[in-house]
Amino acid sequence: MRALVFRGPSDLVVADRPDPVPDAGEVLLRIVATGICGSDLHGYTGENGRRHPGQVMGHETVARTADTGRLVTVNPVMGCGDCPACAAGTEQLCARRRVIGVDPSVSSAFAELMVAPAANVVPLPDDLPEEYGALVEPLAVGHHAALRGQVGAGDRVLVVGGGPIGQAAALAARRAGATAIAVSEPSASRRALVDRLGFAAVEPGALADLDPVTVVLDAVGSTASLRDGLAASTLGARIVLVGMNAPQVSLSAYEISTQERSIVGSFCYTSREFADTAAWVASRPPGLESLVDDQVPFDEAPRAFARLASGELDASKVLVRCQP
Ligand SMILES: [Zn+2]
Ligand SMILES: [Zn+2]
């Protein structure tokens, strides 16, 4: 099969790899398309150190089963299956979790074929627009973030960052019943998309004009984004850190202690939340049609990575089509 192999910082090539062979309990999948995630881009440039030379990346995927051609998506979080976190269905909290597209030893989705545990393969309606299947993973990240922030009716929410995870978080906040949802984003093209989705798009410099919010979903994850979120929120607000832009941040301690804000982390989703998000996507909620900017053939994927990483391509979500 052909696969996209990460050889080192800014070095991605299309190469032949042996076809994966399913073990007991695994399913062989023909990948239809896989989304390029911000974490793949940071891995590609070498910024986050969470990708390793020689590996195949790819965790936002839609596929067809090799035997029956059924349309499916794949939950990339694989728990050990044998600890209290896994027993509770919170595989994202398993200390021995492995993530498809991150762990180099695991079959991953920038390839023509992959194998995945049957428990991680989530069926979709066969007539769903295929590209929607690749959106389930990032949308599940947003759903979990909104749940971690306990977003509910009456909450005013600020999402910091209007990229794919910010868009997903805003859509999830709306599903959860938040009354006012603003998204701060420096890029004009992303603000236009946020606006099309029906959210208030704000330039970061204009946040002072916003009514203080009760929940912040920080889809950037930097000192600056946390500072913006703290400044824009009420005393007692919940701040959810879901973006992973910087490994270290500095915080204004008194805005947390004396103003009783809570800061909670958010990573991936539970298996139940992933399945719930797949069911929501299967219902074709309005807005999804705006989320995929571009789809590129496999051979053009290295160039798409290079253009996205350099900022030359200011797209939101780009999918790689994985079949010839
Ligand atoms: Zn991702
Ligand atoms: Zn476990």
**Choice between 312 and 213, residue whose per-residue pLDDT is larger:** 213
Provide the pLDDT for residue 50. 77
Cα–ligand 1 centroid distance for 162 (angstroms): 15
Of the listed ligands, the closest to the CA of 242 is: 1
Q: Let me know the angle formed at the C-alpha of 103 by 5 and 31, rounded to the nearest 5 degrees.
A: 55
Q: Are the CB atoms for 63 and 32 separated by under 8 Å?
A: yes
pLDDT in tens, 46-76: 887 778 899 999 999 999 999 999 999 999 9
Cα–ligand 1 centroid distance for 39 (angstroms): 6
**CATH classification of 2-134+292-321, choosing from 3.90.1150.10, 3.40.50.1820, 3.40.50.300, 3.90.180.10?**
3.90.180.10
Of the listed ligands, the closest to the CA of 219 is: 1
**CB crowding 199-222: b at 16 or more within 10 Å, else e:** bebbeeeebeebeebbbbbbbbbb
pLDDT in tens, 147-183: 999 999 999 999 999 999 999 999 999 999 998 999 9
> Which positions ≥6 away from 81 have C-beta within 8 Å?
none
> Which positions ≥6 away from 54 have C-beta within 8 Å?
5, 6, 7, 104
Of the listed ligands, the closest to the CA of 134 is: 1
Cα–ligand 2 centroid distance for 98 (angstroms): 10
Cα–ligand 1 centroid distance for 18 (angstroms): 25
H helices within 233-289, ranges in order?
253-257, 271-282
Three-state DSSP class for residue 254: helix
Of the listed ligands, the closest to the CA of 80 is: 2
Asked which of 67-81, 219-233, 276-290, 301-315 is least confident by mean pLDDT, the reply is 301-315
Cα–ligand 1 centroid distance for 289 (angstroms): 19
pLDDT, average across residues 280-295: 95
Is residue 308 within a helix (H) or strand (E), and if so which, with residue range? helix 301-310
As a whole number, the mean pLDDT across the chain is 96
The DSSP bridge pattern shows strands 156-160 and 213-218 to be parallel
Cα–ligand 2 centroid distance for 187 (angstroms): 39
Provide the pLDDT for residue 155. 98
CA–CA gap between residue 297 and residue 324 (Å, rounded): 8
Provide the pLDDT for residue 59. 97
Provide the pLDDT for residue 322. 95
pLDDT in tens, 291-321: 999 999 999 999 999 999 998 887 789 999 9
Provide the pLDDT for residue 46. 87
Asked which of 224-238, 249-263, 300-314 is least confident by mean pLDDT, the reply is 300-314
Three-state DSSP class for residue 54: coil
Cα–ligand 1 centroid distance for 164 (angstroms): 9
* Token pair recorded at residue 156: 């005013």
Of the listed ligands, the closest to the CA of 268 is: 1
What is the percentage of the chain residues whose pLDDT exceeds 70? 100
pLDDT band at residue 80 under the 50/70/90 scheme: very high
The DSSP bridge pattern shows strands 60-65 and 71-74 to be antiparallel
Provide the pLDDT for residue 138. 98
Provide the pLDDT for residue 65. 98
Provide the pLDDT for residue 313. 81
pLDDT in tens, 5-31: 999 999 999 999 999 999 999 999 999
pLDDT band at residue 263 under the 50/70/90 scheme: very high
Q: Please state which CATH number belongs to domain 141-265.
A: 3.40.50.720
Is residue 158 within a helix (H) or strand (E), and if so which, with residue range? strand 156-160
Cα–ligand 2 centroid distance for 266 (angstroms): 18
Which amino acid appears at position 276 of this protein? D
Cα–ligand 2 centroid distance for 164 (angstroms): 28
Cα–ligand 1 centroid distance for 168 (angstroms): 11
Cα–ligand 2 centroid distance for 117 (angstroms): 15
Provide the pLDDT for residue 250. 96
Cα–ligand 2 centroid distance for 267 (angstroms): 15
Provide the pLDDT for residue 269. 97
Provide the pLDDT for residue 158. 98
Cα–ligand 1 centroid distance for 38 (angstroms): 6
What is the domain partition of the chain in residue ranges? 2-134+292-321, 141-265
Of the listed ligands, the closest to the CA of 86 is: 2
